[in-house]
């Protein structure tokens, strides 16, 4: 998670600081950070970037046996992609009470209505992730 926090700071105050990485068999297979503003692409969330990179590296759109580490609870789009990619385990730091689709608003990733349920762990380095987000938003709103 500490590496995900480093990735979150890549855009230096331009983007909401979120970082993510996909790990398969102890190796980083994909990494990403939020870039919707710089990429002019609303789907360029940290999770999506990490998943895309891992899928390209694996040569498959499914990532069995993988773990996704992300500094903020995934939104509905990202939670759906996590399920579609068959990610085995999701570890996220801080909850997103406004848009979180894993625990806060919905339970997309481990819903019994779907044919794949992700194992979810939350709270790892949550204080650090929340502090990073708070700093970002405080700098934008005097």
Q: Which residues are catalytic?
A: 47
Q: Report the alpha-carbon distance of residue 64 to residue 22 in Å, rounded.
A: 11
Torsion angle, CA of 109/110/116/121, rounded to 10 degrees? Answer: 80
Q: Sheet containing 89-94: which strands, arranged edge to edge?
A: 27-33, 19-24, 66-72, 89-94, 119-122
Q: Report the alpha-carbon distance of residue 15 to residue 125 in Å, rounded.
A: 20
Burial 15-25, CB ≥16 within 10 A → b, else e: bbbbbbbbbbe
Structure-token match 């046996």, residue found: 65
Strand partners, 23: 28, 67
């Amino acid at each position: 998670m500490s590496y995900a926090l480093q990735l979150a700071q890549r855009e230096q105050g331009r983007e909401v600081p979120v970082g993510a990485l996909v790990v398969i068999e102890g190796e980083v297979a994909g990494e990403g950070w939020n870039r919707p503003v710089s990429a002019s692409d609303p789907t360029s969330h940290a999770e999506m970037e990490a998943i895309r990179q891992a899928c390209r590296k694996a040569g498959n759109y499914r990532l069995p046996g993988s773990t996704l580490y992300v500094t903020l609870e995934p939104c509905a789009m990202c939670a759906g992609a996590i399920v579609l990619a068959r990610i085995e385990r999701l570890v996220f730091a801080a909850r997103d009470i406004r848009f979180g689709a894993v625990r806060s608003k919905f339970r997309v990733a481990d819903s019994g209505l779907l044919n794949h349920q992700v194992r979810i762990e939350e709270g790892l380095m949550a204080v650090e992730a929340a502090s990073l987000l708070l700093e970002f938003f405080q700098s934008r709103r005097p």
